[in-house]
Amino acid sequence: MDFNQIISDLKNKVYHPVYFLAGEEPYFIDSISSFIEKNVLDEIEKEFNQTILYGKDIDVLTVIAAAKRFPMMSNYQVVIVKEAQNIKNLLGKEGTSKDEKNKHPFQAYIENPQTSTILVICFKYKTLDKRTSLAKAIAKNAVLFDSKKLYDNQVPGWINNYLKSRNYTINPMASMLLGEYLGTDLSKVVNELEKLMINLPIRSEITVEHIQNNIGISKDYNTFELQAAIGKKDVLKANRIINYFSSNPREYPLVLTITSLYSYFTKLLSYHFLVDKSKNNAAAVLGVHPFFVGDYEKAAKFFGTGKLKHIISNLREYDLKSKGIGNATTNEGDLLKELMFKILH
């Protein structure tokens, strides 16, 4: 199941005996387990029938013993195991034994779960090998959810959908700015969006000005504006931005600036090789909002494929220099200025 289907089923009171929530993105795991914790049982039922366990304090048998209890004065009991990746031998030796006597106890429980228990396993930062018999048992008898991290270019779209679900909208410039500044840590993204929504009436459109006033991201000095200046060959504005970055290295570390520029220039190189350069097709291939395709079209006139390949090589060189490889004395600010000169000339 995907995230939206799981939440939809829970809202409709369609419950499963086991939820095994695993993967690299903790936000989705926390959201599902939190929804179950807050909504499946009422406040009186929770006193007798809701148990929260933590992986570092328990073993597999503790989980199974808790799951096998019967609810008191309720149709269900809820057992949530947080940080389950810290439970030693939770998965056994891949849970591959078909011999009932030697079968790992957790797999044995999954294959015959207590139907009056909702067991939630929060297995963060790791994935479960779906080829194992344990994974197959979960898929057959329970819910196996793989919580994947978003790619950088997926974050603005995710922000749009999240805000839409809360009856807000956001303009493309603002969503790109948030994505560039906050990265792929969705918990951090949601925290900042909540700050915005607290200060804005429902059904508002969030703008760049709102972000600057409520989150503190500068609308003039950020990697997104730097890319726009480079794409227009606006040397004065690009140099003004990198001078600001150089004066605030903790807020604008060189490694993140290089990462952002690398993404920008590889997309620009890809644009050159598109057969179908229509707005919708280019947006889909490049992973950007259609609103920005025109910017790539204009930038492509300034930067040919040969120049772009040279720039990408420069970015790799300066990434190594920023990490001390081939550079012993030059600081990050001067490295950025050197790099920008090579890009723009």
Q: What's 267's domain CATH number?
A: 1.20.272.10
The structure tokens 């570092």 sit at: 56
Backbone angles phi, psi at 154, to 5 degrees: -90, -15
Q: Is the pLDDT of residue 103 over 80?
A: no
**CA nearest neighbour of 153 among 233, 239, 248, 270:** 270
The 10s digit of each residue's pLDDT in 51-91 is 999 999 999 999 999 999 999 999 999 999 999 999 988 88
Angle at CA of residue 173, ends 168 and 176, nearest 5°: 90
Same structural domain, 136 and 162 = no
Tell which of 123, 147, 171 closes a domain: 147
HEC string for 277-329: CCHHHHHHHHCCCHHHHHHHHHHHHHCCHHHHHHHHHHHHHHHHHHCCCCCCC
Of 164, 194, 214, the one marking the end of a domain is 214
**Residue 145: what are its φ and ψ, rounded to 5°?**
-115, 125
Residues 6+ apart with CB under 8 A from 300: 268, 271, 272
Query: Alpha carbon of 307 to those of 61, 104, 293, 299: distances in Å?
Result: 62, 59, 20, 12
What digits encode the pLDDT tens for the residues 152-163?
Answer: 888 999 999 999
Do 74 and 129 reside in the same domain of the chain?
yes
Same-domain pairing of 25 and 137: yes
Question: 125: domain range?
Answer: 3-147
Distance separating alpha carbons of residues 65 and 113, to the nearest angstrom: 12
Domains in the chain, number: 3
Residues 112 and 167 in one domain: no
pLDDT tens digits, one per residue of 307-334: 999 999 999 999 999 988 988 788 999 9
CATH of the domain at 47: 3.40.50.300
Q: Do residues 192 and 248 share a domain?
A: no
The per-residue pLDDT of the chain, averaged, comes to 91
**Are 267 and 250 members of one domain?**
yes
Q: Is residue 18 domain-shared with residue 137, that is, in the same domain?
A: yes
pLDDT value of residue 100: 56
Which of 77-81, 92-96, 141-145, 214-218 shows the highest mean pLDDT?
77-81
Question: Tokens 């939440």 map to which residue?
Answer: 7
Does residue 7 carry a pLDDT above 60?
A: yes
Q: What does the chain come to in residues?
A: 345
Q: Identify whether residues 193 and 237 lie together within a single domain.
A: no
**pLDDT at 330 (0 to 100):** 85
My answer on whether 110 and 178 are in the same domain is no
At 207-266, the pLDDT tens digits run 988 988 888 778 788 888 999 999 999 999 999 999 999 998 888 899 989 999 999 999
Task: Read off the pLDDT of each residue in 133-161 and give the average, rounded to a whole number.
Answer: 90
End-to-end CA distance of the chain: 51
What the block records as the tokens of 342 is 């090579």
- 330 and 284 housed in the same domain: yes
Same structural domain for residues 18 and 139?
Answer: yes
CATH number, domain of 179, equals: 1.10.8.60
* pTM summary value: 0.76
Residue partners of 56: CB distance under 8 A and separation at least 6: 83, 86
The pLDDT value recorded for residue 102 is 65
Mean pLDDT of 8-36: 96
| Closest CA relative to residue 245, chosen from 265, 266, 261, 232 | 261
Looking at 111, 127, 147, the residue that finishes a domain is: 147
| Beta carbons within 10 angstroms of residue 206's beta carbon | 21
- 281 & 178 share domain: no
